[in-house]
Structure 1
Amino acid sequence: MKKGTVGSMSCPTVMAILVDKRRETAVRVQEILTKYGCIIRTRLGLHETEACSDDGLIILQLCAPEAQVQQFKDELNALERVKAEVISLALD
């Protein structure tokens, strides 16, 4: 199959970002997400809306070389109250 067609997964890297104190960290997190916006294929943000929770979870699908993903992760993890982890999936 050609790259990018149904059945192929050309971007098998997922990043999960846990954000605590969203009101305090959101601007800086968003700046970093914008900086790396061209490598973000899918973005999903989750937080409790009823109580307007101050923590949240962001799930990203990334299309980038491993070194760039690591740099992105390192920048997020340098922020207080933010934790990013990466999962790269592959069928062997």
Structure 2
Amino acid sequence: MMYLVYGLSSILTSSAAAAAVLQYTAALSQSSLADVVTMPAVDLSGANTSVSLVLGPGIPVLTEDASDDVLEPAHQEFVDDITDRTRAVLISARPRA
């Protein structure tokens, strides 16, 4: 599990989801783009929830390790979607020959 720190909030999510959002944020920043992402999270009581974030240039995002959880959700569908979005941003940013 990891915390995704966004503004004054720490969002608890799976390690895979946090890493995917961090990579997507970097790709958006490099391409001067922004996007709204709704990501899976865990609230203070331990229940699954979701949060929406604006990602893009000038919006700092960082990750911090959280306690390991044997029942950490994979969030694979979300990770696959964000990975596809990252790939699309990076491909569109390539100079054309």
Name the TM-score class by shorter chain: 0.3 to 0.5
TM-score by length of 2: 0.33
* Larger gyration radius, structure 1 or structure 2: 1
State the TM-score, normalizing by the size of structure 1: 0.34
